[in-house]
Amino acid sequence: MKRSKQKNIRLLFQVIYTIVTNGYVYGYLTGKIYKGNLKYTCVPGLNCYSCPGAVGACPLGALQSALNGNGFRVPFAALGFLFIFGSIFGRFVCGWLCPFGLLQDLFHKIPLFRKRKQLPFHKVFKYGKYLVLFGLVFAGSAFLFTGFVKIPAFCKFLCPSGTFMGAIPLLGANEGLRTQISGLFYWKLGLLLFLVLLSVKIYRPFCQYLCPLGAVYGWFNRFSLVQIQWNKEGCTSCMACKRACPVNLSPEEISVSAECIKCGQCVDACPEKCLKMHNNILKKR
């Protein structure tokens, strides 16, 4: 009973956050996007700012946009948002807030196939997100692709959230855009379908292997405000937490690992109540 209650609370959080940050209904109806003052700020999750419902800016989109400007400049504003969200939440954003994480969670609930937590060669593939971060977000945006013309390489070639939340609703409502579809769109649509179908079997493949935002927040996980605390003394090493953990982390790794999305399933699974969600407001280094 309690286990399902915790899961329901997280699902409720994810749904409410998605609705609040994508609540511009007029945009979905007309194929236009929100242009109000809230777009001066970034939202914590991967949320395409070209989504007709989006009321905030995507931190990765903002980062690439700043890198794409004339000349090189440090993208202070986007980095500022990433530091603030990362220091407070860490990858709690991935587990409890991100709309694309919610989509993958929902597909993983479909009772098809034998579920797997990770891909084979997980220990190698998990570094894919860092490759995407440095190869597409930083280097790609700055100059790598198409000679020295700067483009938002991650958004353009990879981001499935942009396809799902931006391109598809816009194409549905805006007839003019449909005439501009090129091969690139079919590549991105194929990638989105592949990732969504893969998430039926594997838990959150995009978050575990490709998401550059998760890679950034992962660096903050160890010391972020929101933590899962492990009481080592009371632990009987029954590994119930590891079995419950959707990304297969042991109790020593939970919360401090860059892979932990702080979903809290380990907290519910622990029979000795050695794990608990808490904030480290008063915790010193």
Partner 1 sequence: MTFWKKISNVFHKIPLWMAGVVVGVMFLLQGIHGGQLEDMYRKAVMICLECIGIG
Q: Which residues bind partner 1 (CB under 8 A)?
A: 32-35, 39-40, 42, 48-50, 56-57, 61-62, 65-66, 69, 73, 75-88, 151-152, 155-157, 159, 162-163, 166-167, 170-171, 177, 180-182, 184-185, 187-188, 220, 223-225, 280-285
Between residues 82 and 254, which has the closer beta carbon with respect to partner 1? 82
Between residues 6 and 87, which has the closer beta carbon with respect to partner 1? 87
Between residues 82 and 244, which has the closer beta carbon with respect to partner 1? 82
Tell me how far, at minimum, the Cβ of 40 lies from partner 1, in Å. 5
Between residues 24 and 203, which has the closer beta carbon with respect to partner 1? 24
Tell me how far, at minimum, the Cβ of 67 lies from partner 1, in Å. 11
Residue 221: burial class (beta carbons within 10 Å; 0-12, 13-18, 19+) = buried
Tell me how far, at minimum, the Cβ of 252 lies from partner 1, in Å. 19
Distance set, CA 46 to CA 21, 89, 138, 181, 279 (Å): 11, 14, 16, 23, 23
Return d(Cα 207, Cα 122) in angstroms, integer: 13
Task: Give me the count of residues in the chain.
Answer: 285
Tell me how far, at minimum, the Cβ of 250 lies from partner 1, in Å. 23
Q: Please enumerate in sequence order all residues whose Cβ is within 8 A of that of 6, keeping only pairs 6 or more positions apart, or say none.
A: 264, 265, 267, 268
Q: With contact defined as beta carbons under 8 Å apart, do 221 and 255 qualify?
A: yes
Around 167, how many Cα atoms within 13 Å sit in the side-chain half-sphere? Answer: 23
- DSSP 3-state assignment of 229? strand
Report the amino acid identity of residue 133: L
Return d(Cα 218, Cα 167) in angstroms, integer: 28
Between residues 125 and 145, which has the closer beta carbon with respect to partner 1? 145
Between residues 11 and 168, which has the closer beta carbon with respect to partner 1? 168
Tell me how far, at minimum, the Cβ of 43 lies from partner 1, in Å. 11
Angle between helices 212-220 and 59-67 (to 10 degrees): 100
Between residues 11 and 256, which has the closer beta carbon with respect to partner 1? 256
Tell me how far, at minimum, the Cβ of 228 lies from partner 1, in Å. 14
Tell me how far, at minimum, the Cβ of 3 lies from partner 1, in Å. 29
Phi, psi of 228 (to 5 degrees): -110, 120
